[in-house]
Amino acid sequence: MNFPFEYLHKKNSRSKTLKISIDQSGKVVVTSPKFIPKFLIEQFVKKNEEWIVKAIEKANHTKKFDSTEYLFIFGKKYQKEVIFSETKKSGIYVMGDKLIFNPLTPPNKSRIINEETSKQKQDLEKKFQTKVDNFLKNTASHYIVKRTYELGEKMNLSFKNITLRKQKTRWGSCSSQKNLNFNWRLVHFDTIIIDYVIIHELSHLVHMDHSKNFWELVRKFDPEFLNHRGWLKRNGLSLD
């Protein structure tokens, strides 16, 4: 069969049914039990073709929160630029709507592209991204830690420790030992979304499940939690 897209077929001995997944770049993956014949897989893909096409289009148009040209901090867009200055401190700083990286040495401005200048460019971009990640993590920490204590006090809840990590699939978690963990890449989102995640995890200190009582507690401190939860589900997948 011919499809308006390509898909990768993966066999999984533990899988009991056929499944379709589409990542943020629009890549289609079909997972099947080990001995499913090819014609059944193609029939399954054909049956879901319309849904797959729509999902690919959505993935291709999803807003990216951190690209090579720009990034978002607390919901605001900033252009990334490398500007060397001997009079300013090296590193990352915000100026207007730009996030500027001032390297220790001036970038090679030669117009002659060769292997050496290409490697220098790659090294500079790698250093830039490392600096950006550190900047974002520190910015996230300053907001999330302080805000968690504020909301915890408002909710009359206490916890032990707060940890920030870079994760691909989880925005936060709460352990049975009352330790909280947050994804520092929340820093890309508007503060109302970050607050929802914090309230969500603080509520797990009382209810370690997603029961009706849990959601009622979340609603008490975030009446718009359904909108914030939906936004996160729709847009959060655009993080790499």
- Summarize pLDDT for 126-154 with one digit per residue, the tens: 777 888 889 999 999 999 999 999 999 99
Name residue, tokens 């499913």.
36
Q: Cα–Cα distance between 107 and 120 in angstroms, integer?
A: 8
Domains in the chain, number = 3
Same domain? 47 vs 120: no
Q: Which of 96, 114, 135 is the last residue of a domain?
A: 135
Residue 1 maps to a domain:
no
Mean pLDDT for the stretch of residues 30-46: 91
Q: Which of 79, 101, 135 is the last residue of a domain?
A: 135
Same domain? 224 vs 146: yes
pTM score > 0.75 for this model?
no
Mean pLDDT for the stretch of residues 185-208: 95
State the CATH number of the domain containing residue 218. 3.30.2010.10
Same domain? 193 vs 211: yes
Residue 197 maps to a domain:
yes
Q: Is the pLDDT of residue 158 over 90?
A: yes
| Angle, alpha carbons 162-165-170 (nearest 5°) | 100
Look at residues 99, 96, 4, 101 and name the one whose alpha carbon lies nearest to residue 49: 4
Amino acid at residue number 86: E
Same domain? 53 vs 96: no
Residue 107 maps to a domain:
yes
Q: Cα–Cα distance between 182 and 150 in angstroms, integer?
A: 16
Q: Is the pLDDT of residue 55 over 90?
A: no
For a pLDDT cut of 70, what percent of the chain falls above it? 86
Same domain? 104 vs 187: no
The β-bridge relationship of strands 91-95 and 76-82 is unpaired
Using 50, 70 and 90 to split pLDDT, how confident is the model at 120?
Answer: low
Measured from the Cβ of residue 223, the count of other Cβ atoms closer than 10 Å reads 9
Look at residues 84, 62, 81, 63 and name the one whose alpha carbon lies nearest to residue 72: 63
Same domain? 205 vs 126: no
Same domain? 159 vs 211: yes
Q: Is the pLDDT of residue 111 over 50?
A: no
Residue 122 maps to a domain:
yes
Mean pLDDT for the stretch of residues 194-207: 96
Same domain? 122 vs 153: no
Same domain? 142 vs 231: yes
- The angle that helices 38-47 and 49-60 make with each other, rounded to 10 degrees, is 70
Q: Which of 135, 163, 191 is the last residue of a domain?
A: 135
Q: Is the pLDDT of residue 62 over 90?
A: no
State residue 227's pLDDT score. 92
Range of the domain at 80: 70-135
Using 50, 70 and 90 to split pLDDT, how confident is the model at 13?
Answer: confident
Longest pairwise C-alpha distance within the chain:
67
Using 50, 70 and 90 to split pLDDT, how confident is the model at 240?
Answer: very low
Q: Cα–Cα distance between 28 and 53 in angstroms, integer?
A: 10
Residue 2 maps to a domain:
no
Residue 65 maps to a domain:
no
Q: Cα–Cα distance between 163 and 181 in angstroms, integer?
A: 5
Same domain? 149 vs 226: yes
